[in-house]
């Protein structure tokens, strides 16, 4: 089993973020990626450097204007604001504003960045591009016959919309992996087990019937991203019936989680997917500093067993997981199951 990580991702450090009313260091630390790499190496996975993802693939998921903003703004912003290296919005086109794109970068930041934990710096684009490249290449490996591959994505991707970064995410790695899968498979399923709703992925595929999206997450009434992730979001137009949200009560443990997982898996079976992308957040683990569920390491083993039992070509795309000292436990649990299936 191979693991993919780009050297572009190494060392990326977020600027400080505005979190729960205070400016603090981001919880998305470079040490997270090093922890994922350490587990992959410890488990004997081959680490591969991916080629940089090509523009047409990026543009099949993301809008050109947004990509231009991500690449241009971090360089131009310090010219407008000498000494300021981080671009973070303080106003957004919320529900009483028309969604129009202003010329000023601060206005554009409000248009293209959905919160205050996703600041742009000169480092952001390279890291996001590297992360997307890891996902795309892992998906290519699976298309070329490997039963499973692990993309060590950081920054994460599942909160990134076609035209908006959010929640530490800028490019939607899982969506990119799904689009790669779609080049050979008529139906692709994406299951998101991160503790937070995969709102970006949902939005990208919301009106499509060829990509089924399902997310298990902590109740959005009480959990980021708050405004999406409810059970009544089922898709729209052609996509109606191809989006399944399974919100769980805060504090839910293995039993409730696995019940919800069985519902998601049954729907993936009925959808008759030929290719599976797992948005592998580890922050539903009981130890996670940003999590609000209580899934144990044994629970993660069972999650992986049930997903592996689908026997689909599978790409594991790393998403959240923030307690660096503990994150290896959940990852080890998942990788051990999938590594055993490919022996
Ligand atoms: Zn998360």
CATH of the domain at 300: 3.40.800.20
State the pLDDT at residue 99.
85
State the pLDDT at residue 342.
80
Residue 126 class from Cβ within 10 Å (0-12 exposed, 13-18 middle, 19+ buried)? middle
Distance 335 CA to ligand 1 centre (A): 19
Distance 81 CA to ligand 1 centre (A): 32
Q: Which of 273, 271, 221, 217 is nearest to 248 (CA)?
A: 217
Residue at 84 is within a domain: no
Distance CA(190)–CA(201), nearest Å, equals 9
- Helices (H) and strands (E) counted in the chain, each on its own, are 10, 10
Residue at 329 is within a domain: yes
State the pLDDT at residue 182.
98
> Average pLDDT by consecutive 10-residue portion of the chain (343 residues)?
97 94 95 97 96 97 98 92 92 93 96 97 97 98 98 98 98 98 98 98 98 98 97 98 98 98 98 98 96 96 98 98 94 96 79
- Angle at which helix 327-341 crosses helix 30-42, to 10 degrees, equals 40
Residue at 201 is within a domain: yes
Distance 195 CA to ligand 1 centre (A): 5
Distance 82 CA to ligand 1 centre (A): 34
User: What is residue 215's three-state secondary structure?
Assistant: strand
Distance CA(153)–CA(192), nearest Å, equals 14
- Phi then psi for residue 239, to 5 deg, are -85, 0
- Phi then psi for residue 209, to 5 deg, are -105, 5
Q: Which of 268, 258, 269 is nearest to 304 (CA)?
A: 258
Residue at 66 is within a domain: no
Cβ-proximal residues to 190 (8 Å cutoff; 6+ apart), any chain: 174, 175, 178, 198, 201, 205, 211, 212, 213, 214, 276, 277, 278, 279
Residue at 167 is within a domain: yes
Q: Which of 64, 99, 85, 17 is nearest to 107 (CA)?
A: 99
Residue at 108 is within a domain: no
- Contacts of residues 30-34 at CB distance under 8 Å and 24 or more positions apart, as own/partner, are 31/324, 32/154, 32/321, 32/322, 32/324, 32/327, 33/5, 33/9, 33/152, 33/154
Distance 96 CA to ligand 1 centre (A): 28
Q: Which two tokens mark 174?
A: 């899982």
Distance CA(39)–CA(280), nearest Å, equals 15
Say whether 285 is catalytic.
no
Distance 140 CA to ligand 1 centre (A): 25
Distance 281 CA to ligand 1 centre (A): 6
- Host H or E run for residue 243: strand 243-248
pTM, 2 dp:
0.98
- Write down the catalytic residue from 62, 137, 159, 161: 159
Distance 76 CA to ligand 1 centre (A): 31
CA distances from 13 to 86, 122, 154, 181, 224 (A): 12, 10, 10, 30, 22
Q: What residue numbers bound the domain in which 194 lies? A: 2-53+123-341
Distance 240 CA to ligand 1 centre (A): 25
- Give the total number of structural domains in the chain: 1
- Angle at which helix 105-112 crosses helix 64-80, to 10 degrees, equals 140
Residue at 248 is within a domain: yes
Residue at 209 is within a domain: yes
Q: Which two tokens mark 72?
A: 């241009």
């Amino acid at each position: 089993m191979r693991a993919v990580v780009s050297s572009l991702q190494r060392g990326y450090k977020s600027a400080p973020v505005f979190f729960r009313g205070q400016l603090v260091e981001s919880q998305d630390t470079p040490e997270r990626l090093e922890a994922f790499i350490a587990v992959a190496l410890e488990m004997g996975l081959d680490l591969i450097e991916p080629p940089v993802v090509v523009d047409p693939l990026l543009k099949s998921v993301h809008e050109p204007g947004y990509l231009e903003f991500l690449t241009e703004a971090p360089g131009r912003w310090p010219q407008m604001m000498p000494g300021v290296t981080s671009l973070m919005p303080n106003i957004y086109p919320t529900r009483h504003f028309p969604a129009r794109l202003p010329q000023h970068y601060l206005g554009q930041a409000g248009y293209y960045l959905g919160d205050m934990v996703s600041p742009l710096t000169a480092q952001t684009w390279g890291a996001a591009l590297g992360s997307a490249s890891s996902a795309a290449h892992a998906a290519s490996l699976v298309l070329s016959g490997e039963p499973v591959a692990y993309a060590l994505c950081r920054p994460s991707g599942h909160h990134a919309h076609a035209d908006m970064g959010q929640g530490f995410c800028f490019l939607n790695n899982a969506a990119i992996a799904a689009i790669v899968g779609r080049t050979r498979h008529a139906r692709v399923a994406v299951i998101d087990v991160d503790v937070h709703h995969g709102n970006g992925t949902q939005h990208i595929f919301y009106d499509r019937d060829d990509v089924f999206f399902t997310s298990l997450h902590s109740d959005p009434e009480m959990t980021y991203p708050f405004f999406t992730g409810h059970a009544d979001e089922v898709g729209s137009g052609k996509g109606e019936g191809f989006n399944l949200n399974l919100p769980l009560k805060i504090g839910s443990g293995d039993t409730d989680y696995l019940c919800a997982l069985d519902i998601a898996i049954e729907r993936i079976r009925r959808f008759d997917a030929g290719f599976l992308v797992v948005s592998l957040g580890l922050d539903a683990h009981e130890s996670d500093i940003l999590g609000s569920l209580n899934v144990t390491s044994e629970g993660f083993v069972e999650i992986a067993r049930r997903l592996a039992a689908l026997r689909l070509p599978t790409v594991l795309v790393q998403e959240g997981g923030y307690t660096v000292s503990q994150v290896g436990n959940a990852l080890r649990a998942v990788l051990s199951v999938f590594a055993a299936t490919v022996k």
